[in-house]
Each structure stands twice: as C-alpha cells, then as structure tokens.
C-alpha cells in the first residue's frame, strides 16, 4: 500500500490517501489540545502511545464483532484505515459523573450512574461542540434514525466490552467519546481513535487519573499516565 496525497490535518491526527481509493493512512500526532483547543501543547511520544493503544483496542473490538475502520498498524505512528465519511456527531458515554456533565448540570462528581449515559454532541469546533438531542441530529440531517439506532447499539456494546477489558487491567473506564462514519458501501463503522486522549481512565485502586485529564487539570506526568495504560494493555496482549 502506497501513501499518496496529504488530505487533512486535525488536532491530533493527519490523514493521507493511498493507491487504494477505499483506504487511508492516519498518523497520530504528539499535539495535545483541551477546552476546544484553547489549551495546547506537544508531548514527544504521545502520538506513538495513542497509536499503539488505539490499534490494540480497535483490534480487540473487531474480534468481538464491532465494525471498525481499523485495518492494521503500519508503524509507531501510523495506521491503515478504511476510508469513511464521518458523521458529524461525537458520541459520549459516561459510567461515572465527571467533566462537562458536572459543570453543565451541577451534579456531584464521581457518582456511579445506574446505567451508562449516552450523549450526542455536534462535531463543530467553531461552535465548541454543543450538546444536541437525537431530534436535532435528525431534523438537521446530521444522521438518520437507522444510523442513530445502530450508533447507540454499537456504543453500548463498546462500553460493555471496554469496561470489562479495562477492569481486567485494574482500570475503571469512566467515560469516553466515539465517532462513526460510513464507508464507500454505506456500512456504519466505528472510526477516529480510542486512547487516553478520548477516554477517562482511573486506576481502580488509587483512583489515579491515567488520561488527558492530567493535561486538562495540570496534574503532571501526562506521558507517564499514557505509558502506564500502554504497559497494562500490552501486557494483556502478551498473555
Ligand atoms: O469533557 P467531557 O466530560 O464532556 O468528556 C467526556 C469524555 O469524552 C471524556 O472521556 C473526553 O476525553 C471525551 N471527549 C473527547 N473529545 C471531545 C470531547 C470529549 O474525546 N471533543
């Protein structure tokens, strides 16, 4: 597979076309952003860790029957993925209350929810990714009812699979964000990335934050936390 034309640069990744029109190359960047890119930094080694972690998680989900865009990891920074048209909705799942949920609604931090809470946000940097309802998504044509039903079903399945997977590594999956897209044959695929940039991971015993909250809240040792997630994920893979 040959890398061809540079297509797009986002906050955390770059995308290239390949000689296969249905396949893209994604490169994970070291840059780190928070609060709609108001806070920015670059951490050497972060892109590699997110690529490694995300690749293993996509592979794990794929084996469990979740349709994903992931094809294979090329090297430390790059993956081959299926070309998708991204649905402009960020799907957030929460198992424990924290983050913008607490800010927005004034609810207590750290409360275990009786069931997973699924939220939809419009993927629009200029608007600061506002929260939306299913009706907004349907009425403004950002998604179809059929897609939303499938998105919700896959999202809850991913939550169950990853919660169990991480609990086995002594990690609580607090919340995370997913993105979906449609491939050239209109199949709905899980896309983007699954990494400490897009998930909140708490150590089960110490409740240490092992994710981007270390950057958001200036807790220090951001890379160390990402390395710890990779250490546990890779040790599970080696079994
Ligand atoms: O900030 P908030 O509490 O809404 O984030 C919920 C979850 O979604 C967190 O795991 C966060 O990392 C993720 N998220 C993301 N990208 C965004 C917004 C949230 O990965 N644009």
Cα 166 to Cα 229: distance, rounded to the nearest angstrom: 9
For a ligand 1 pocket test, name from 88, 106, 175 the mutation site with the most ligand atoms within 8 angstroms of its C-beta.
175
- Looking at the fold, whether 115 and 175 belong to one and the same domain comes out as yes
Cα 92 to Cα 97: distance, rounded to the nearest angstrom: 12
- Residue 235 inside a domain? The answer is no
For ligand 1, which residues put their CB under 6 angstroms from it? 90, 92, 99-101, 129, 175-177, 198-200, 212
pLDDT at 190 exceeding the cut of 80: yes
- Residue 197 inside a domain? The answer is yes
Contact 159, 119 (CB under 8 A): no
The CATH number for 150's domain is 3.30.470.20
Instruction: Report the range of poorest mean pLDDT among 36-40, 141-145, 210-214, 226-230.
Output: 36-40
Ligand 1 centroid – CA 26 distance (Å)? 21
* Residue whose tokens read 């999202």: 155
Mean pLDDT, residues 48-72: 98
- Looking at the fold, whether 95 and 181 belong to one and the same domain comes out as yes
pLDDT at 62 exceeding the cut of 80: yes
Q: Which residues of 74-88 are buried (b: 16+ CB within 10 A; e: fewer)?
A: beebbbbbbbbeebb
- State the greatest distance between any 2 C-alpha atoms of the chain, in Å, as a whole number: 51
For a ligand 1 pocket test, name from 92, 105, 179 the mutation site with the most ligand atoms within 8 angstroms of its C-beta.
92
pLDDT of residue 237: 84
- Looking at the fold, whether 56 and 113 belong to one and the same domain comes out as no
- Residue 115 inside a domain? The answer is yes
pLDDT at 19 exceeding the cut of 90: yes
Supply the residue whose CA is at minimum distance from atom 3 of ligand 1.
99
Q: How confident is the model at residue 87 (pLDDT cuts 50, 70, 90)?
A: very high
28-32: list long-range contacts, CB under 8 Å, 24+ apart.
Answer: 28/54, 28/77, 28/78, 28/79, 28/193, 32/197, 32/212, 32/215, 32/222
pLDDT of residue 81: 98
pLDDT at 16 exceeding the cut of 90: yes
Mean pLDDT, residues 9-18: 97
Cα 180 to Cα 194: distance, rounded to the nearest angstrom: 12
Supply the residue whose CA is at minimum distance from atom 11 of ligand 1.
198
Contact 13, 31 (CB under 8 A): no
Give the ligand 1 atom nearest the CA of 174. Answer: 10
Report the percentage of the chain scoring pLDDT > 90.
97
* Per-residue pLDDT reduced to its tens digit, 131-184: 999 999 999 999 999 999 999 999 999 999 999 999 999 999 999 999 999 999
- Looking at the fold, whether 18 and 101 belong to one and the same domain comes out as no
Give the ligand 1 atom nearest the CA of 98. Answer: 3
Nearest alpha-carbon partner for 29 in 15, 46, 41, 8:
46
Give pTM, 2 decimals: 0.98
Supply the residue whose CA is at minimum distance from atom 18 of ligand 1.
177
pLDDT of residue 33: 96
Mean pLDDT, residues 49-59: 98
- Residue 7 inside a domain? The answer is yes
Give the ligand 1 atom nearest the CA of 177. Answer: 8
For a ligand 1 pocket test, name from 10, 97, 99 the mutation site with the most ligand atoms within 8 angstroms of its C-beta.
99
Structural domain span for residue 173: 85-221
Cα 224 to Cα 209: distance, rounded to the nearest angstrom: 11
Task: Please report, for residues 90, 143, 164, 171, 176, the alpha-carbon distance to residue 86 in angstroms, rounded to integers and kept in the order given.
Answer: 10, 10, 27, 29, 18
Contact 166, 194 (CB under 8 A): no
- Looking at the fold, whether 115 and 216 belong to one and the same domain comes out as yes
Q: How confident is the model at residue 239 (pLDDT cuts 50, 70, 90)?
A: confident
Instruction: Report the mean per-residue pLDDT for the chain.
Output: 97
Q: How confident is the model at residue 238 (pLDDT cuts 50, 70, 90)?
A: confident
- Residue 228 inside a domain? The answer is no
Cα 196 to Cα 170: distance, rounded to the nearest angstrom: 15
pLDDT at 26 exceeding the cut of 80: yes
Question: Quick check: helix, strand or coil at residue 129?
Answer: coil
């Amino acid at each position: 597979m040959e890398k061809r034309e540079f297509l797009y640069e986002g906050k955390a990744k770059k995308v290239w076309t390949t000689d296969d029109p249905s396949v893209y190359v994604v490169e994970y960047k070291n840059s780190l952003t928070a609060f709609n890119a108001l806070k920015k930094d670059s951490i050497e080694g972060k892109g590699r860790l997110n690529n490694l972690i995300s690749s293993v998680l996509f592979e794990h989900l794929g084996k469990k029957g979740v349709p994903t865009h992931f094809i294979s990891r090329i090297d430390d920074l790059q993956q081959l993925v299926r070309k998708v048209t991204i649905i402009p909705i960020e799907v957030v799942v929460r198992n424990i209350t924290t983050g913008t949920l607490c800010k927005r609604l004034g609810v207590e931090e750290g409360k275990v929810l009786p069931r997973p809470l699924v939220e939809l946000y419009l993927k629009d940097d200029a608007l600061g990714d506002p929260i939306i309802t299913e009706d907004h998504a349907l009425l403004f044509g950002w998604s179809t009812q059929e897609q939303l039903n499938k998105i919700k079903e896959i999202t809850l399945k991913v939550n169950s699979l990853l919660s169990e997977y991480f609990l086995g590594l002594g990690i609580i999956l607090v919340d995370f964000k997913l993105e979906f897209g449609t491939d050239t044959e209109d199949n709905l695929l899980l896309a983007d990335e699954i990494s400490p940039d897009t998930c909140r991971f708490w150590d089960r015993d110490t409740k240490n934050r092992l994710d981007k909250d270390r950057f958001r809240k200036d807790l220090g040792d951001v890379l160390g936390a990402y390395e710890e997630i990779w250490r546990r994920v890779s040790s599970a893979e080696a079994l």
